[in-house]
Chains A and B, each alone.
Chain A
C-alpha cells in the first residue's frame, strides 16, 4: 500500500489547478514544488551522502542564467535553456568536485560557501555576459495563467522524486550512505569515495540547475542578488531539508511546504516582516538542537516532544 502513496499525491496535485484556486495560492504552490525539487536535490548530496553544501545557489544561479543568457543573447525562448542548464550545472559540479571534494568535513562546507559567493560576485561583475546587477528580464511571458507553469514544475518534482528514490535504493544509494557514515571504512570496502561523491554532487547540481532554469522562465526576471543569494537560496535550501527531514524521501517536500508558508506568513505581517531572517535563524537553531534530523527524520522524537500519543 505504501508504494502507492507517491502516485496518490501526484494525482491529487495534478487535480489542484482544476479547483480554481487564486493566482496567489497557485504561485505559492509553484514555489513549494520548486523548493521541493531543490530540497530533494540537496538531500541526495547532503542527507544521503553526508556532504553538506552551503553553496547550492551556485547551481541554481547557473541554471537560471543559462536560460536567461540564452534568451538575452540569442532571443531563443528561455525554456530551451533547460538542457543548457543541465550541461552547465554538470560542468560546475565537476569543477566544484575537483576543488572541494578532497576536503575533509567542515572545510568542504566552507569551500561550498566560498564558491557560491564567488559565482555571485562574478555574475555581478561580468556585465557583458550577465548584465550584472541590472539582471535579465524576459519580455514575453509564455503563459499568463499559472496552471501550465504548475504542471511543468510538478512534472520536474515528480521526476526528481523518482530519480532520488531509484538512486537511493540502488548501489549508488548504498555507497552514498556508506561514505556518509564513515568514509575511510567505505574505502576499505572498495568504495571509490571521490567518484561517488562527485556523482552525488553532479546529480544534486543538475536538478538544482533545472529548478533555476524554471525560475527564470516562471518569474521572468533574475539578477545575481536573487539567484546566487547566500541567505535566500543556499541557506534556505539547507533549511528546507533540515526542517523537513534529512535523508528521507518526503522530508524535503515537507520542508518546502513549511518554509514557503512560513516565509509568506512572515512577509505578510507588518512589523515583523523585516525580521524574517532572524526568525529563520532562530528556527534553524531550534531545529538543529532539538530535531537535527528534521520533522520526517526525527518523527518519533517530535511525537515525544509534542506529547502526542498514549503514555506508555
Chain B
C-alpha cells in the first residue's frame, strides 16, 4: 500500500493561537480515513490546510509524492484532490445539472463533454431524478449529495468529505454511506470528517483522532475504540447512538 497523502508536522497559528499543533499522519491509497474529535478540535482547519485553503504555518504536506503545502486550492484540485464543505453552497440559481457541469469543466473545455461527465456522475450518486431542479429548492439531504457529486465531477483521486452526514435522517444516512462505499470501490481514496461515531467506526479503515489541535490517536477503529485518551476526550460528550 502506498501513501497518497502525507501530512508532516503541520501546525496552524492564527495570531498567537495554535489551531493545529504538530500533526502528522498518512493516508493510504484506496482507504477511507476517518478524522474525529470534539467540536473545535481543529479537524476542519486540518482539511483546510490539506486542500490549500490555508498555508500551514509549519510543516509540509505531500500529495502523491509532490509537496502541495503552499499551493493554492485550485492547483491542488487540478492535481486530483477535491473536497466538500460543511456548509453546502451550491450554485443556487442553477440546476443540479449545471452545478455539476461547472465542476466537470476542470477536465475538459468542451461543454458537451462536461455535460456527459456531469450526467454520469449524477447517475452515480443517484440524484438523476432532480437533475433539472434548481438547487436552491432542494432539501438538505439532496444538497449534500449534490455537494459530493460536484466534487466527484472533478475526477479526484483523493476526496475530502467534511461532515457530509450531518443533519441527515436515518434513510439519508444509509444512502450517504452507500455512496461513500461506492466511491471507495471506484478506487478513490477518501478522508472523512464526521461526528456520527457509528458511521465513522463502520466505514473507516483507519481513524485519526484530534483534540485541541493535536493528534491523540491513530489506528484502526478497534484500536481507537479502546484508546483511553480518546475515550477521555469524549467523556461527557453524548454521541449519536
Q: Does A182 contact B (CB under 8 A)?
A: yes
Cα A187 to Cα B71 in complex, Å, equals 12
Is B140 an interface residue when CB atoms closer than 8 A count as contact? no
| Chain B residue contacts of A175, Cβ below 8 A | 102, 105
What's the minimum C-beta distance from A136 to chain B, rounded to whole angstroms? 43
A190→B106 contact, CB < 8 A: yes
List residues of chain A with CB within 8 A of the CB of B102.
174-175, 177-178, 189
In the complex, the answer to whether B91 meets A189 with C-beta atoms within 8 Å is no
Q: How near does chain B come to A161, taking the closest CB pair, in angstroms?
A: 19
Residues of chain B contacted by A178 (CB below 8 angstroms):
91, 102
Instruction: Offer 20 A-B interface pairs, CB within 8 angstroms, sorted by A.
Output: A170-B111, A171-B111, A175-B102, A177-B91, A177-B102, A178-B102, A181-B89, A182-B89, A187-B72, A187-B77, A188-B73, A188-B83, A189-B74, A189-B77, A189-B82, A190-B82, A190-B106, A191-B74, A192-B74, A192-B75
Assembled-state Cα–Cα distance A184/B87 (Å): 12
The answer to whether B154 and A189 have CB atoms under 8 Å apart is yes
Question: What is the minimal beta-carbon distance from B98 to any residue of chain A, in angstroms?
Answer: 7
User: Nearest CB to that of B103 among chain A residues?
Assistant: A189
Docked Cα-Cα span, A213 to B138, in Å, equals: 47
A283 at the interface (CB under 8 A from B): no
> With A174-B101, A188-B53 in contact, do A169 and B73 touch (Cβ < 8 Å)?
no
Q: How far is the CB of B164 from chain A (nearest CB, A)?
A: 14
Residue A193, interface by CB 8 Å: yes
Q: Tell me if A185 is interfacial: C-beta within 8 Å of chain B.
A: yes
Interface residues of A in 138-197 (CB under 8 A from B): 169-171, 174-175, 177-178, 181-182, 184-185, 187-193
B150 at the A interface (CB under 8 A): yes
The CB with the most chain B CB atoms within 10 A, among A169, A170, A181, A189, is that of A189
Q: A188-B53, A190-B77 are in contact. Are A181 and B111 (CB under 8 A)?
A: no
Using Cβ atoms and an 8 Å threshold, which residues of chain B touch A184?
Answer: 53, 73
Give min CB distance, A308 to chain B, whole Å. Answer: 23
Q: Given A174-B105, A182-B89, do A189 and B98 touch, yes or no (CB 8 Å)?
A: no
For chain A, the bracket of interface size reads 10 to 19
Nearest chain A CB to B107 CB, angstrom units:
9
In the complex where A169-B111, A171-B105, A175-B102 touch, is A188 in contact with B89 (Cβ < 8 A)?
Answer: no
Q: List A contacts of B114 (CB < 8 A).
A: 171
Bound Cα distance from A174 to B106, whole angstroms: 11
Is B98 a contact of A174 with CB atoms below 8 Å?
yes
Choose among A169, A181, A187 the residue that contacts B74 (Cβ–Cβ < 8 A). Answer: A187
| Least distance between B102 CB and chain A CB atoms (Å) | 4
Of chain B, the residue at the smallest CB distance from A170 is B111
Is the pair B53, A185 in contact by a Cβ cutoff of 8 Å?
A: no
Interchain CB contact under 8 A, B85 and A185: yes
Report B61 CB to chain A, min CB distance, Å.
15
B92: CB under 8 A from chain A? yes
Chain A residue with the shortest CB-CB distance to B53 = A184
**A-B contact count, CB below 8 Å?**
64
Chain B residues with CB under 8 Å of chain A are 51-53, 72-75, 77-78, 82-83, 85, 89-92, 94, 98, 101-103, 105-106, 109, 111, 114, 150-151, 154
When the two chains form their complex, are residues B77 and A188 in contact, meaning their CB atoms are under 8 A apart?
A: yes
**Are A193 and B85 in contact, with the CB atoms below 8 A?**
no
Min distance, Cβ B75 to any Cβ of chain A, angstroms: 8
Q: A187-B72, A189-B106, A190-B78 in contact; A177/B94 too (CB < 8 A)?
A: yes
**Is the beta-carbon distance between A181 and B53 smaller than 8 angstroms?**
no
Task: Output the least CB separation between A259 and chain B (Å).
Answer: 25
Max count, chain B CB within 10 A of own CB: residue among A185, A190, A192:
A190
Chain A contacts of B92 at CB under 8 A? 181
Chain B residues contacting A191 (CB-CB under 8 Å) are: 74, 106
User: How many angstroms between the C-alpha atoms of A174 and B89 in the bound complex?
Assistant: 15
Apart from A174-B102, A188-B73, A193-B74: 5 A-B pairs, beta carbons within 8 A:
A170-B111, A181-B90, A187-B72, A188-B53, A192-B74
For B75, B78, B91, B150, the residue with the greatest tally of chain A CB atoms inside 10 Å of its CB is B91
- The answer for the CA separation of A162 and B234 in the assembled complex, in Å, is 60
CA distance A59 to B238 in the complex (A): 60
In whole angstroms, how far apart are the Cα atoms of A185 and B52 in the complex? Answer: 12
Smallest Cβ-Cβ distance to A176: which chain B residue: B102
User: Cα distance A190–B94 when bound, in Å?
Assistant: 19
Say yes or no: B91 contacts A181, CB within 8 Å.
yes
Smallest CB separation, A109 vs chain B (Å): 22
Of chain A, the residue at the smallest CB distance from B80 is: A190
How long is the Cα–Cα vector from A174 to B115 in the complex, in angstroms? Answer: 12
Q: Given the complex, which residues of A lie within 8 Å of B105, measured CB to CB?
A: 171, 174-175
State the CA gap A182–B77 with chains docked (Å): 16
Task: Assess whether A185 is in contact with B111, with CB atoms less than 8 Å apart.
Answer: no
Max chain A C-beta neighbours (<10 A), residue from B74, B75, B78: B74
Task: Please give the distance in Å from B146's CB to the nearest CB on chain A.
Answer: 12
Interface centre among A178, A182, A188, A189 (most CB of B within 10 A): A188
Closest 5 CB pairs of A and B: A190-B77, A187-B73, A190-B106, A174-B102, A171-B105
